[in-house]
Amino acid sequence: MSTYVYAISASSHPALPDGMGGVGDPPQPVRILKEGDLAAIVSDAPEELRPKRRDLLAHQNVLAKAGRAGCALPMRFGSVAPNDATVTDVLAERTEHYQERLRALDGKIEYNIKASHVEEAVLHRVMAQSPELRALADASRMAGGGSFDDKIRLGDMLAAAVKAQEAEDAAEVPRLLAPVTHAVSVGPASTGWLVNVSFLVDGDSAGQFLAAVERARTSLPHLELRVNGPLPPFCFVEPTGTTASAGAE
């Protein structure tokens, strides 16, 4: 029977989600594998594991429960080991590395922010910034909307301005929020949002972070900011890669 792995934590974690329902139908009960100072949160892997809603949610729920009472390093969805022994072998081999990560992430949570433009508001903004666009829009309006070609020309310029504004906003959001966080991880930029950034935040200063988000909402009213969190530190489990210290520009 292969083993589905949810997370790695310290074996001293005060409330491991032992017995909770995990992935699969019926849900496989969550078990804890301990190896020295480390523990793996696992369950039997279902025969046919697919990225279905139910299993994605089960994965997330186990991570949320594990992260509530202590630090846990979240595995990517769908991590399956051939058996329990492989899991404990990995824990034994890389004890030092995982302990370092657990120490580094102790008491910290991830917030993910996604933003998209509010169309009317962003058009207003780009017009406000460009006399050329305003002149063109005025001419178009006087001509009762203008010809097809006029509209295309105006629309083309507006689209270019909006795109430039996107790039500006993509940089501005992390700039506004980074000072109250430990680390910033910029996610894939082009999948339904113009900003997709995760922040590593001290659990104790989450209120401060959310206040900064509210200020950003006020100063960037043409953006719809969506906040998700607290999340397990998905983007910060490895020390290298896309993460960067907030202070180091």
Partner 1 sequence: MTVVPQQTGGGASSLYDVLELVVDRGLVIDAFVQVSLVGIEILEIDVRVAVASVDTYLRFAEACNRLDLEAGPRKSPGLPDMVGEITESGARGKSKGALSGASQTVSDAFKQARDERSGDEAEAEPRPRKPTAARRKEEQE
Using the minimum distance from each CB to partner 1, give the nearer residue, 169 or 246.
Answer: 169
The answer to whether residue 193 forms part of the interface with partner 1 (CB under 8 A) is: yes
Nearer to partner 1, 1 or 249 (CB): 1
Task: Candidates 29, 103, 124, 168: give the one binding partner 1 (CB under 8 A).
Answer: 124
Q: Are 98 and 73 in contact (CB under 8 A)?
A: yes
Which position among 37, 228, 239, 247 is part of the footprint of partner 1 (CB under 8 A)?
Answer: 228
**Cβ proximity to partner 1, 27 vs 187, nearer residue:** 187
Distance, CA of 186 to CA of 148 (rounded, Å): 39
Q: Is 159 in the site for partner 1 (CB under 8 A)?
A: yes
Count of residues that bind partner 1 according to CB under 8 A: 92
Amino acid identity for residue 119 in this structure? E
Site for partner 1 in 2-61 (CB under 8 A): 2, 5, 7-8, 49-54, 56-57, 59-60
Position 158 contacts partner 1 (CB under 8 A): yes
**CA pair distance 29, 33, nearest whole angstrom:** 13
**Distance between CA atoms of 75 and 70, rounded to whole angstroms?**
16
The structure tokens listed for 10 are 């310290």
Residue with tokens 């520009």: 249
Host H or E run for residue 84? helix 84-93
Closest CA to 194 of 218, 231, 217, 164: 164
Stretch that binds partner 1, among 11-19, 27-35, 150-158, 173-181 (CB under 8 A): 150-158
In angstroms, what is the minimal distance from the CB of 36 to partner 1?
17
CA end-to-end distance (rounded Å), the chain? 48
Which residues, numbered 74-93, are part of the site for partner 1 (CB under 8 A)? 74-82, 86-87, 89-90
Show contacts with partner 1 in window 125-144 (CB under 8 A).
125, 127-129, 134, 137-138, 140-141
3-class DSSP state for residue 90?
helix
